[in-house]
Amino acid sequence: MNVDRRPARPIPYGIAARAVDWWDARSDARAGLPALDGGQAARRFTYTPTLERLRHRAADAIEHELLRLERERAAPARALAAVREQVPMAETVVAKARSALSAASRPLDETDLRERRAGETRTDAAVVRKRRQLTHDKRVADREAALDAAERDLLRLRSTEADLVESIRRSELVAAARARRIHEHTWRRISAYWQHLVRRHPDGAALNAVLGIAEPDLPGWARYDLTEA
């Protein structure tokens, strides 16, 4: 996945594209497109082959961005699913380690401290107490180390999860921004085409009053931006 891919800058509307749109507008105007239906006074959207071509081209480009997004986030999405499967198990390990430490940390009572093991029948009582305390302290230290390792493993998993979520989110936001650039550029071309067509159309004075032009489609996944949380 290319995590450094940035949103595209606004797509320039160069002279070549303008010339094409102006030429198409003049050609459609000379052909009387779109034709007014005198029987309908209600304002409605209009369609011409040029408008449909621009809209379809934008839809194809936006679909390409979605396909690229799906390729980019496939691997991190699989990794995220795997990590999320491990988190509950790691939480269980932490809980057990914490419980074990709590049990091991219980102070030894006098009976525990005086307990003699095999071979300690004649051992001085103070030495026995010291041995029992050292054994207890080592057990506590081992449980603390186990808990620390379990917590570090859980923290690593949660950090990895957060990184993967953010990586996927960034890819989605970048793709959405690129899709909006395509939408904005196409809408600009459509607007320029329509303005030029109205000026050249024999019924141009009536076109704007009766007909409107629809924006290119912008899918829901492309409607949020980089400023959102």
- DSSP-derived secondary structure for 162-198: HHHHHHHHHHHHHHHHHHHHHHHHHHHHHHHHHHHHH
Q: Residues for the chain: how many in total?
A: 229
- The pLDDT of residue 8 is 65
pLDDT per 10-residue tile (average), the chain, 229 residues:
60 93 94 76 78 96 97 97 98 98 93 86 88 94 98 98 96 93 96 94 82 89 65
Picking from 181, 178, 201, 200, the residue whose alpha carbon sits closest to that of residue 189 is 181
Phi, psi at 125, each rounded to 5°: -60, -40
- Alpha carbon distance 157, 150 (integer Å): 11
Enumerate the β-bridge partners of residue 44. 211
For residue 199, give Cα distances in angstroms to 43, 61, 126, 188: 19, 30, 108, 17
- The pLDDT of residue 75 is 97
The sign of the torsion formed by the CA atoms of 153, 155, 157, 163 equals negative
Neighbours of 48 (CB within 10 A): 20
**34: preceding bond cis by omega (within 30 degrees):** yes
- The pLDDT of residue 170 is 93
Q: How big is the chain by its Cα radius of gyration, in Å? A: 36
For residue 147, give Cα distances in angstroms to 62, 91, 113, 134, 159: 50, 11, 26, 20, 18
- The pLDDT of residue 1 is 45
pTM value is: 0.78
- Alpha carbon distance 40, 42 (integer Å): 6
- Alpha carbon distance 66, 217 (integer Å): 14
